[in-house]
Chain A
């Protein structure tokens, strides 16, 4: 009853004041997974994302005066739930964050019809970089092909790869297969032997067969595209078989602190390419601690907030909020809609200065997007496990995108033909 009176009062007040009343709100749902087999990796990412948005709401009253409704819809990493969440939220959402590769694959064609931007920071389909074809999809700041290219570049720093053998340990799933076309191309160009070793979803926790094969083949390096339980399984198995950790490199989703803490010092030397770096001394982390964590508005904990994944979550939300802000400035309205946010995501320009202003210097490399380039190709750092945490082991690596822009273009147009009629952005004249 109290509620109704309040509502009635608000309505009466609204009529009196005329234009005021309705609170401006931006609805940016997140298809989170805090349950299910991948929850351990999902929770720190979701907390980082949610906490940054809470910080903006608490400190600045939202973005440009409009509060952010960063509602989570739980998917448990299941595709069916993901589609359910997408359908449930798409009505008033200005962006969708699908999270799993499976959900991304299903939602990707729908967003092109429903005209909602899909934000997949650091995951999804690599050809999404082609903004002319995938006009509603953004995998900022780096895609999987960028990661594969940077890893090969890093390995090349120790001398030519000619005649070397690189094992590619990957989840046998669309996600794990994603970098294969590029790695095969690079293997041909650089003359190294690529040895793909798939790990089935059922074998994630028991990889003895795969590591037996690695022991037999004696590859110079092992590159891993793992997720969830597969990473911990591979790292413990590598320790058990005494594989030299310094020759073991994972993608950014295989650099989760908790997986490495399982082996502690034995994991020393393990590397992971990453487009984000957890900088506990960054001003933004301090603010998050004071205004969100200490105020009891966070689901996180002190240890988790030091980790790579929490920091990455914060960066992801920063990218979204920057896009919202850009769109608000350009269109002169606080309450932007989905297509205006698309403009914002397409015209991101995250410079060193801007990062310093946001208190995030060194947490993500500077990057910018355009209507043709929906990834930004920010590059990243090689992180190394020092026995208790991840530290930077290289200078900023930037992917050699010119080497595979043809591959991006052909894969994108192949997708468009397979899904014809597929609306592409004809107006865009920039090149990738």
Chain B
């Protein structure tokens, strides 16, 4: 038996999410929920935004470079004071804006759709 292409081991704890990049291209990807990863890190791991333009503060809700718009109807963790304060200072903010670094990947987020906000 031969296996063609990239063999990929999909863990049972992976979820499918869709990330629309800054050029408007949608990427359906597998995101692990057991690696303590947040949405910003998922975007970086798939290189869906150029390095140096996302996650600049490293994920401390202090730069808004990972701002995204949540396009699906998922129950996400509540906005903390830190995230809220940063969004108050960020640009291109909409009602569905969140900071990717504050959204930990969880099984219930399967099917999540987010769009990356423009680089600011």
Do A and B pair up? The answer is no
Contact surface of A with B, Cβ cutoff 8 Å: none
